[in-house]
Amino acid sequence: MRIREANETDAARAAALWTEAYTNQNPAEGRKEPYGEDELTGAASAATVLVAESVGGEVVGIVALVPATAPRGVVARVGEAELSRLAIAAAARGDGVGRALAQRVIALARAEGAARMALWSRPYQVQAHSLYESLGFRRAPGRDGRDPLGRRLVFTLELATGG
């Protein structure tokens, strides 16, 4: 597996991965509309977007890192980086792709001097919650919230102390 920065040629694959991971996953809440190719450009304007390629060169995962210095994040506070939009192709789940991408963005956030990372997830994304917790993220229920599509659960990771 190779991890690299996403580029415009990855737009269709990014949209497909995000759609597969986040669209119509729960009848009660969450996104219903598929992602468009323009979403990669939007994400990359505020974040570093990385993709994971299989040995054969297929993009099988994607993640975004909103730096602690960014003017916006969804749940990040001052001094916090935000892990966002982690999506792994169904055929590649369980192969360590999500862990490798998350570890890479954690290392980048640390290198950029972020004191903490934050992320949010939907309540039904329990497989992702297990990954986050295994990486040292802890639930921050006092920061949970809602958006028009449903509930958001917030997780944080202390970076200054090594996680």
Taking residues 122-144, report their average pLDDT.
96
Q: Is residue 18 domain-resident?
A: yes
Report the residue count for the chain.
Answer: 163
Percentage of residues in the chain having pLDDT higher than 70: 98
- Parallel/antiparallel/unpaired status of strands 116-121 and 80-88: parallel
CATH number for the domain that contains residue 81: 3.40.630.30
pLDDT-derived band of residue 135, with 50, 70 and 90 as boundaries? Answer: very high
Q: Is residue 23 domain-resident?
A: yes
Q: Is residue 150 domain-resident?
A: no
The alpha helices in 36-91, defined as continuous H runs, are: 38-46
Q: Is 153 helix (H, G, I), strand (E, B) or coil?
A: strand
Gap between the Cα atoms of 111 and 144, Å rounded: 27
Single-letter amino acid, residue 149: L
Q: Is residue 41 domain-resident?
A: yes
Q: Is the pTM of this model over 0.85?
A: yes
pLDDT one-digit tens code per residue, 77-105: 988 999 999 999 999 999 999 999 999 99
Confidence check: pLDDT of 70 > 90: no
pLDDT at position 63 is: 98
Gap between the Cα atoms of 93 and 99, Å rounded: 10
Q: Is residue 24 domain-resident?
A: yes
Q: Which domain holds residue 22?
A: 2-114
Quote the number of domains for the chain: 1
